[in-house]
Amino acid sequence: MADKVARDDAEWRQHLTPEQYAVCREKGTERAFSGRYFDHHAAGTYRCAGCGAELFRSEAKFDSGTGWPSFHDAAADDRVATATDRSHGMVRVEALCARCDSHLGHVFEDGPAPTGLRSCINSASLDFDPDAK
């Protein structure tokens, strides 16, 4: 994304709730089945809690059974960046907001068609805008 968002730590702490800060800036993970969007089925757009960037559409959301919102595709190719995560004795693919570098969750290669991907995303890193009726 062309319009990168950069804030210092104090600005992030002011902008985000403590839970959002722990997930988005400190790469935390909410407990499975505890987030507000893991069992959420409304039509609309999931946005980054850090900067408001459109990340995922409800049409790409599926029930992975993992307890976190899961998506098989991002809203556009340039919305979610990835990085290698070697924490906790594992090697995983970290999902990041391409606009503000907020930690979103992780990407796994066991998702449904058409991509075969499962972006397992923390609810705390998301806001939701319902589609107009």
Residues 60-83: tens digit of each pLDDT = 999 999 999 999 999 999 999 999
For residues 91-111, average pLDDT: 97
Q: Which of 48, 97, 100, 120 is catalytic?
A: 120
CA–CA distance, 66 with 90 (Å, rounded to integer): 18
Dihedrals phi, psi of 125, to nearest 5 degrees: -90, 0
- The fold adopted by the segment(s) 9-130 is 2.170.150
pLDDT of residue 132: 84
Q: What pLDDT does 1 receive? A: 57
> Is the pLDDT reported for residue 2 higher than 70?
no
Token pair, residue 30, equals 């909410």
Q: For residue 27, what pLDDT is reported?
A: 96
Contact 104, 55 (CB under 8 A): yes
Q: Is 24 a catalytic residue?
A: no
Find the mean pLDDT for residues 114-123. 97
- 73 touches 115 (CB < 8 A): yes
Rama region for 18: left / alpha / beta (φ>0; ψ in -120 to 50; rest): alpha
